Amino acid sequence: MTFDTRDIRVGMDAYTADGVYLGTVRKVVLGPAPPPREPSVAVRHASEVTGELLGPQPTAPLGNPGPETQGARNAFATRRDDALPLGAARFAVGTLPVPLGWRWFRLEDVQVVSFERVVLRRTAAELGVRARVRHAQ
């Protein structure tokens, strides 16, 4: 899975796989990003029958351009944004705003990112962390 600067950012809470609170993401250091993989135009093809024609009332014959502009040939009407890929980034987690006791993790250590929470793949025992009072719910 690839992450960008919107996914893991300073201020998010970090937990182990077994729900032990590690602290807050304090710093994110971007790593080298892999080259962007843009599917070629030849790969972008539409199916023979669009979902539009399967609906209760097809609107394309009435002049609605949506089914064509939002199709595979046009990358589903999406465009690039300015979020940078994290690449092979590292991020620091700690309870203090100063770099005392911060632990550094790689993106490979991340199991899931949800809202304002980063959950790591390893448990507290695997990281050698004692359980604190605050647990994930």
- Cα-flanking dihedrals φ and ψ of residue 109, to 5°? -80, -10
Supply the CATH number for residue 102's domain. Answer: 2.30.30
Integer Cα distance of 113 and 115 in angstroms: 7
Q: Coil, strand or helix: which one is 11?
A: coil
On whether both 90 and 78 belong to a single domain, the answer is: no
φ and ψ of 10, to 5 deg: -60, 135
Q: 33 with 45: CB under 8 angstroms? A: no
Both 48 and 108 in a single domain? no
Query: 57 lies in which domain range?
Result: 42-83
Are both 93 and 59 inside the same structural domain? no
Tell me if 85 sits within 8 A of 32, measured CB to CB: no
Residues 89 and 25 in one domain: yes
pLDDT < 50: residue spans in the chain = none
pLDDT tens for 91-121 read 999 999 999 999 999 988 999 998 899 999 9
Q: What does pTM read for this prediction?
A: 0.63
Q: How far apart are the C-alpha atoms of 8 and 116, rounded to whole Å?
A: 9
How many separate domains does the chain show? 2
Tell me which residue of 3, 27, 1 sits closest to 14, measured CA to CA: 27
Measured distance between the N- and C-terminal CA atoms of the chain, rounded to whole angstroms: 25
* 63 and 96 share one domain: no
CA angle (78, 80, 86) in 5-degree steps: 130
